[in-house]
Amino acid sequence: MSIGTKRMLTGNKAMAEAIRQEMERDPNVFVMGEDVGVYGGIFGSTEGLFERFGPERVRDTPISETGFIGAAIGAAAEGMRPVVELMFVDFFGVCMDQIYNHMAKIHYMSGGSVKLPMVLMTAVGGGYNDAAQHSQTLYATFAHVPGLKVVAPSTPYDLKGMMISAIRDDNPVLFMFHKALQGLGWMDPLDAAIGPVPEEPYTVPLDKAKVVREGSDVTIVGIQMMTHAALAAAERLATDGVEAEVIDLRSLAPLDKTTILESVRKTHRLLVVDEDYLSYGMTAEVAAVVAEEALYDLDAPIRRLAVPDVPIPYSRPLEQFVLPNAGKVYEAAKQLVAR
Amino acid sequence: MAIPVEKLKWMYETMVKIRIYEETMVSVYAEGKTPVFNIGAGPVPGEMHLAAGQEPVAAGVCAHLRPDDTVTAPHRPHHHAIAKGVDLRRMTAEIFGKETGLGKGKGGHMHLFDPAVKFSCGGIIAAGVPHAVGAALAAKMQGKDAVAVAFIGEGAANAGAFHEALNLAALWKLPVVVVIEDNRYGISVPKEASTAVASNADRGSAYGIPAVFVKDNDVLATYEAAGEAVARARRGEGPSLVEIETYRYLGHFQGDPEVYRDKGEVPALRDRDPILRLRQHLLQQGLVSEADLADLEARARAAVEDAYQFARESAYPRPEAALEDLFEPAPADVQLAQ
Q: What is the pLDDT of residue A255?
A: 98
Does the interface predicted TM-score (ipTM) exceed 0.90? yes
Q: How many CB pairs under 8 A join A and B?
A: 178
Q: What is the pLDDT of residue B34?
A: 86
The arithmetic mean of pLDDT across residues A292-312, rounded, is 98
Q: What is the pLDDT of residue A99?
A: 98
A200: Cβ contacts below 8 Å, ≥ 6 apart: none
DSSP annotation string for A35-68: T-STT--TTSTTTTHHHHH-TTTEEE--S-HHHH
The arithmetic mean of pLDDT across residues B103-114, rounded, is 98
Is there a contact between B131 and A102 if contact means CB atoms under 8 Å apart? yes
pLDDT in tens, A259-281: 999 999 999 999 999 999 999 99
Mutate to test the interface with A, among B129, B137, B314 (most CBs of A within 10 A): B137
Neighboring chain B residues of A80 at a CB cutoff of 8 Å: 137-138, 141-142
The arithmetic mean of pLDDT across residues B51-80, rounded, is 98
Q: Is the pLDDT of residue B241 over 70?
A: yes
What letter would DSSP give residue A32? E
Supply φ then ψ for residue A116, to 5 degrees: -125, 80
The arithmetic mean of pLDDT across residues A188-199, rounded, is 96
Q: Is the pLDDT of residue B8 over 50?
A: yes
pLDDT in tens, A101-117: 999 999 999 999 999 99
- pLDDT category, A254, cuts 50, 70, 90? very high
Instruction: Name which of B114, B124, B138 is nearest A78 (Cβ-Cβ).
Output: B138
- pLDDT category, B35, cuts 50, 70, 90? confident
The arithmetic mean of pLDDT across residues A303-322, rounded, is 98
Is there a contact between B326 and A206 if contact means CB atoms under 8 Å apart? no
For residues B243 and B56, give the distance between their C-alpha atoms in angstroms, rounded to a whole number: 12
Cβ–Cβ contact A133 with B under 8 A: no
Exposure pattern of A100-121 as b/e (b: 16+ CB <10 Å)? bbbbbbbbbbbbbbbbbbbbbb
Q: What is the pLDDT of residue A139?
A: 98
Cβ–Cβ contact A241 with B under 8 A: no
Q: What is the pLDDT of residue B329?
A: 85
For residues A61 and A49, give the distance between their C-alpha atoms in angstroms, rounded to a whole number: 15
Is there a contact between A74 and B138 if contact means CB atoms under 8 Å apart? yes
Q: Is the pLDDT of residue A1 over 60?
A: no
Neighboring chain B residues of A120 at a CB cutoff of 8 Å: none
Exposure pattern of B48-78 as b/e (b: 16+ CB <10 Å)? bbbbbbbbbbbbbbbbbbeeebbbbbbbbbb
- pLDDT category, A320, cuts 50, 70, 90? very high
Write down the mean pLDDT value for chain A.
Answer: 97
Is there a contact between B167 and A64 if contact means CB atoms under 8 Å apart? yes
Exposure pattern of B301-317 as b/e (b: 16+ CB <10 Å)? eebbeebbebbeebeeb
The arithmetic mean of pLDDT across residues A31-41, rounded, is 98
Query: Which of A128, A188, A56 has the alpha carbon at shortest distance from A323?
Result: A128
What letter would DSSP give residue A95? T
Say if residue A189 is exposed, middle or buried (CB neighbours under 10 Å; 0-12, 13-18, 19+).
Answer: exposed
Q: Is the pLDDT of residue A86 over 90?
A: yes
Is there a contact between A78 and B134 if contact means CB atoms under 8 Å apart? yes
Q: What are the helix (H) ranges across A210-276?
A: 225-239, 257-267
The arithmetic mean of pLDDT across residues B307-321, rounded, is 98
Say if residue B27 is exposed, middle or buried (CB neighbours under 10 Å; 0-12, 13-18, 19+).
Answer: exposed
What share of chain B has pLDDT > 70, as a percent?
A: 97
The arithmetic mean of pLDDT across residues B270-289, rounded, is 97
pLDDT in tens, B74-106: 999 999 999 999 999 999 999 999 999 999 999
Is there a contact between B325 and A69 if contact means CB atoms under 8 Å apart? no
Q: Is the pLDDT of residue A140 over 80?
A: yes
Neighboring chain B residues of A78 at a CB cutoff of 8 Å: 70, 118, 134-135, 138-139, 142
Q: Is the pLDDT of residue A95 over 70?
A: yes
Q: What is the pLDDT of residue A208?
A: 98
Query: Which of B135, B114, B112 has the alpha carbon at shortest distance from B122?
Result: B112
- pLDDT category, B324, cuts 50, 70, 90? very high
**Bridge partners of A33?**
A60, A85
- The residues of A that are catalytic are 134
- pLDDT category, A90, cuts 50, 70, 90? very high
Q: What is the pLDDT of residue B143?
A: 97
Say if residue B3 is exposed, middle or buried (CB neighbours under 10 Å; 0-12, 13-18, 19+).
Answer: middle
